[in-house]
Amino acid sequence: MSAQDKIEQTVKGNDVVLFMKGTKEIPQCGFSSRVAGVLNFMGVDYSDVNVLSDETIRQGIKDYSDWPTIPQLYVKGEFVGGCDIITEMMLSGELDQLFEQQGVSFNKDAADQIRAHNS
């Protein structure tokens, strides 16, 4: 199976996927840590893919999304964005809306706490 096939299978087979450096328990870069931290705090059930463990996936995900950086968040098979976009969406409430529209469970009170802490 090619890297592209593995990526497609992962993206389509999970409601929420974060391609990141490290794991959701032990992120290995600040940007990955920020996005994983938001998802973890919000109680989102998501799959994490450590791109550091497979160079073909690390490059393959950049090709798959036509996006040059990692982390990359996918919701219901669609690319949402990287760290800056997820941070902006979190603070504006757009991430809550996306999760609600897609039927992804999350803790709304936790999301509100993040926004209150960052305002």
Q: Cα(73)–Cα(80) distance, rounded to whole angstroms?
A: 6
Task: Give burial (CB, 10 Å; 0-12/13-18/19+) of 102.
Answer: middle
Q: Cα(43)–Cα(96) distance, rounded to whole angstroms?
A: 12
Residue 29 among known ligand-binding residues: yes
Q: Cα(62)–Cα(42) distance, rounded to whole angstroms?
A: 26
Binding-site residue positions: 29
Binding-site residue positions for [2Fe-2S] cluster: 29
